[in-house]
Amino acid sequence: MPYTAPPAKTAISDTYPNPSNAVARAGFAQLWEYVTALLGLTGNPPAARTALGLVIGTDVQAYNANTAFTNVAQSFTGGQRGAITTLTDGATITPDFAANCNFTVTLGGNRSIANPTNIVAGQSGSIFIVQDATGSRTLSWGSFWDFANGGIAPTLSTAANAVDRVDYVVRSATSIHTVFTGNYS
């Protein structure tokens, strides 16, 4: 397939994410030539998509200036938020860091927070620890949890329904830096 310079204006700008990028446009222009030659079309994007059985938003990513990319710095003008996942109470509570960044758990007895699964350096979030209606529940921590006060696990607030929070940043696959803030309510 011969290389041709990109056209000054592309007929495919409604489907390509960055039509002003000449290098990318040139590559896409070659693909477009191939597809149109194969299908006998003359630069008609809707007809080509239909002939190929492609649906924008399902098979082909539609251009959207508001799309966030994971490989470049972003400036957000709207609030960003993560959901809070409820952890299952039990003798040993194991957060799955692939499920979310923020968690909550209501302790129904003296418990242990195990080392999480799916740990990835750079993840950060919070764990809200709530005493049940009885209160005075204790909590121990797995070996990956590194607390700011010399590595000593914190003492939870003991009042019924008290809320404490642990904020964390994963430093490595075996080190989670944590800060405890107690007695929110």
- Among residues 156, 149, 96, which one has the least CA distance to residue 129? 156
Q: Specify the pLDDT at position 8.
A: 47
Q: Specify the pLDDT at position 56.
A: 73
How does 71-91 read in b/e, with b if 16+ C-beta sit within 10 Å? Answer: eeeeeeeeeeeeeebebeeee
**3-class secondary structure, 29:** helix
How does 36-56 read in b/e, with b if 16+ C-beta sit within 10 Å? Answer: beeeeeeeebeebbeeeeeee
Q: Which helix (H) or strand (E) holds 179?
A: strand 175-181
Give pLDDT tens digits along the chain (185 positions).
555 544 544 444 444 455 555 555 566 677 767 766 666 655 666 776 777 777 777 776 666 677 777 778 888 888 888 999 999 999 999 999 999 999 999 999 999 999 999 999 999 999 999 999 999 999 999 999 999 888 899 999 999 999 999 999 999 999 999 999 999 96
Q: Where are the domains of the chain?
A: 1-77, 84-181
- How long is the chain? 185
